[in-house]
Amino acid sequence: MIRRVVAPAVATTCLALLAAAPSAIGAQLPSRSFPVIPMRAATGGGGFKGTLALGSFRVRRQGLVAVGHLTGTLRDRRYPSSQRIDLTGFALPVAVAAVPNAPDCARLAVGFGAEAVTLFGLRAHFPAGTLVLRPHSGSPAPYHELLCGTSQAVAAQAPQPAVVHLLNAIRLLFG
């Protein structure tokens, strides 16, 4: 009974924050962008080293995914020189959870699943990793509230489309 009452209340609060965020923060947007994630992958004869600039979160058949722009260098003994990689629309599966034992609710763990993909004709294996989102000094107040709302929505098992909207709102706050 409590879950039925709490989940809609949390979702309503989060959606209200989402609607208010763009107008409430206006000129207060921080100068830095959403985290760019360092990425490494192993290939049969070398590896990839680069970054993933997150562009959006989406719901796909297999669940939540992070989609972004992957750039970097692939070095493998099967090629005579290193290969520059520049892929838009690169997607990795993600799982979102509140950070256990965090000092407050404004901590969100975005776990990236291990994935094997083809880069420049070679099979590359990206290991699993975690990105922890948290407010920093100078973060606008809506960022703290949006992280708390998203953590609570995830804990209340909100539907995946609602979680995706909240994650994209967090990304846009720093975009």
- The 10s digit of each residue's pLDDT in 124-171 is 999 999 999 998 888 887 889 999 999 999 999 999 999 999 999 998
Selection from 112, 160, 158, 161 nearest residue 133 by Cα: 112
pLDDT for 13 beyond 90: no
Residues 6+ apart with CB under 8 A from 132: 99, 107, 108, 109, 110
Q: What is the pLDDT of residue 48?
A: 97
Q: What is the pLDDT of residue 62?
A: 84
d(C-alpha 41, C-alpha 115), whole Å: 9
Mean pLDDT of the chain: 83
Q: What is the pLDDT of residue 137?
A: 83
pLDDT band at 175 (very low <50, low <70, confident <90, very high): low
Domain that holds residue 6: 2-25+32-173
Please state whether beta strands 63-76 and 129-133 pair in parallel, antiparallel, or not at all (unpaired). Answer: unpaired
pLDDT digits (tens, 9 = 90+) for 41-77: 999 999 999 999 999 999 998 899 999 999 999 999 9
Selection from 159, 99, 168 nearest residue 131 by Cα: 99
What is the arithmetic mean of pLDDT over 117-125?
93
Question: Strands (DSSP E) along 99-170, which ranges?
Answer: 108-112, 115-119, 122-126, 129-133
Which two structure tokens, joined as six digits, stand for 6? Answer: 């709490």
Q: What is the pLDDT of residue 16?
A: 40
pLDDT digits (tens, 9 = 90+) for 69-112: 999 999 999 998 999 999 999 999 999 999 989 989 999 999 99
pLDDT for 26 beyond 70: no
Q: What is the pLDDT of residue 33?
A: 59
Q: For the chain, what is the domain count?
A: 1
d(C-alpha 143, C-alpha 80), whole Å: 47
Q: What is the pLDDT of residue 111?
A: 96
